[in-house]
Structure 1
């Protein structure tokens, strides 16, 4: 089945989707432009695979999309109308009849200035006034190696007040070298892109993982919080103690082991995943979320991942209708687990059925909280009634 046939199976009304697998940046963008020839976008979101050079794309964008507003980021994989992919350049053209957008760039974000983020966010929201009868939401795309998303999203929550915010941390395949966000034709590291959207479409936020707490608990006894680095757990070298708890030799620890045996942090009655990225040095563990001395961690155990995907994506509007499309931010560690278990075809079929398009992230942002190993998304429902001028 061709890409165009896959797109024909997913005829969303409020967004047009284009996918290219061409190796040359300008040729790939021209391929997208041809597929989007009938679109009248308010803006385009571009999800970039690690095989394409951001510098080459930035130069080509000026030639191929000179009069179009394009945002986006680099990724750790893509979700296309085919499902999971690793080498697809994906464009989502948000139709101007249904969406308005305003943007701002936070740079640098390491370290984050909470006051500056709040002030900049409040100013954007004040300037981008909502049209009566419409609703606003925010999307955030952050440098996934900045280690600042926890503070950033908390500041955004304060600045946006009652405007919900969803998003994903930019990725870099599995290299963990450089991640970037795209605004006004330029890619930026050590930065975060905030999009404020207005739409007449009904929408619903999604956020779910597939883990439950076990009885195995641990305490961080030595950490470097600004680096998200844990050196000791329960008074022992962190990697060795974690390996003991998951019953795996320390030299066999890997991203797959981390994906299938995450640690959880309790917040009230809710557990959030604090994912481990990799071993640091001989004994340390680098995390993908905030970590600190004295933090109590609980080892997580996975539930059936396809079943939780089915349940989590089963969202409808007030009339019982499925979404027009779901913009999805899916942790790369979820895909690692799905791949290892041979479940990628099943997961991809669920994404196709539910009209999910998005990317694999280095972290997810959901209503003021930075999380890991979580699917976060926004379900936009079919247009009904009036459209934006």
Structure 2
């Protein structure tokens, strides 16, 4: 349990194989009978139907924000996998409401506005206020709808901050899901609106910077997130040449160490590659249009970047009471490939943090990759 002035935050996790046992163990640790909100990040190894029923029973009457993951994060252990990791927050100054958006392929701006308005009506007394509210988006990581949903929700929030992550399934790419009202749902998203009387700050960390190596997409299909040609060449061949490897060597670890970057609104954002296909095309985790100028990214030491990023957050905004993190699976893969996962875990230990490894991240109205997005709840001013 946290101490000091601020919301009461409790964290727990379980590696029990049985989903009912795992949820029971986490629920005992969270003691969430009067919680304002419960967060649960769930390994894809669990049977979702059983897990959903267990969550509904254990946390009846409480707002639950949950999804399947590509790995879990905890300030007590660092990077973990195969677990249910959760937190509960209780405070009379924190109000939370959630809505399911489904099916995603029928999502439009009108529904976005209606969804936001119902959330505001439930949690806020004086309408939208960026100083009091923020929104969390959890979305099916295989839906390929993140760009549309994030952009339309962001437009409906009128300055209220939005962040989030795309649900994962431990790199199986078979099915990812979000939880709402007693069950896990594919092809869906959950939006949670928070009205907070406690200080908070949304953040975005990335550890890549653009190099001078530029590439232009000359044939792309944004709907399928496939890039067929770069600089008039088969995309995989052109990318491999820029990186300095043989196309046959392209795999997740190469993509994790050498993403491409796109400049949007004066800032650089990472665009990660999912896989190279037999026809020479590349599939991305974000939609890529024709004619975009991409820069090959160059990373800094990731474990050090994690530590320094949270140090800067503390220096600027004070000691965190609670941190919720949506961290790209490719960051974890990079740490693993460099034999630095323990160093990354050590950078997280001691933080009041939980989170999950994602198939993509959202920040404001953008869907991004190889990034950590999140929110910090701070201690109240004395």
Question: Same-fold call, TM > 0.5?
Answer: yes
How far 1:306 sits from its partner (Å)? 2.4
Q: Distance in 2 between matches of 1:89 and 1:12?
A: 25
How far 1:112 sits from its partner (Å)? 3.4
Note if 1:211 corresponds to 2:205: no
Q: Aligned ranges for residues 264-283 of structure 1 at < 5 Å? A: 264-283=261-280
Note if 1:366 corresponds to 2:360: no
How far 1:111 sits from its partner (Å)? 5.0
Contact 2:124 2:195 in 1 (8 A): no
SS at match of 1:105: strand
Equivalenced residues, count: 378
Q: Distance in 2 between matches of 1:279 and 1:198?
A: 43
Q: Aligned ranges for residues 20-35 of structure 1 at < 5 Å? A: 20-35=14-29
Contact 1:317 1:381 in 2 (8 A): no
Q: TM-score, normalised by structure 2?
A: 0.93
Q: Distance in 1 between matches of 2:155 and 2:3?
A: 40
SS at match of 1:227: coil
Corresponding residue to 2:305 among 305, 308, 315: 308
Aligned-pair Cα RMSD in Å: 2.3
How far 1:252 sits from its partner (Å)? 1.0
Aligned to 1:145: 142
Aligned to 1:129: 124
Contact 1:39 1:95 in 2 (8 A): no
Note if 1:83 corresponds to 2:78: yes
Moved more, 277-286 or 368-377: 277-286
Aligned to 1:4: none
User: In the superposition, relative to structure 1, how do residues 35 and 268 fare at CA in structure 2: closer, same or farther (>3 Å)?
Assistant: closer
Aligned to 2:94: 99
SS at match of 2:216: strand
How far 1:129 sits from its partner (Å)? 2.1
SS at match of 1:41: coil
Aligned to 2:218: 221
How far 1:120 sits from its partner (Å)? 2.3
Q: Distance in 1 between matches of 2:362 and 2:231?
A: 29
Aligned to 1:115: 110
* Structure 2 gap segments, 5+ residues each: none
Q: Aligned ranges for residues 1-389 of structure 1 at < 5 Å? A: 13-37=7-31, 40-80=34-74, 81-110=76-105, 112-130=107-125, 135-314=132-311, 315-316=313-314, 321-384=318-381
* Structure 1 gap segments, 5+ residues each: 1-6
Q: Distance in 2 between matches of 1:162 and 1:283?
A: 41
SS at match of 2:209: strand
Runs of 4+ in 1 over 6 A off after TM superposition: 7-12, 131-134
Q: Distance in 2 between matches of 1:333 and 1:11?
A: 36
User: In the superposition, relative to structure 1, how do residues 123 and 245 fare at CA in structure 2: closer, same or farther (>3 Å)?
Assistant: same
How far 1:10 sits from its partner (Å)? 12
Q: TM-score, normalised by structure 1?
A: 0.91
Contact 2:2 2:8 in 1 (8 A): no
How far 1:151 sits from its partner (Å)? 1.5
User: In the superposition, relative to structure 1, how do residues 98 and 53 fare at CA in structure 2: closer, same or farther (>3 Å)?
Assistant: farther
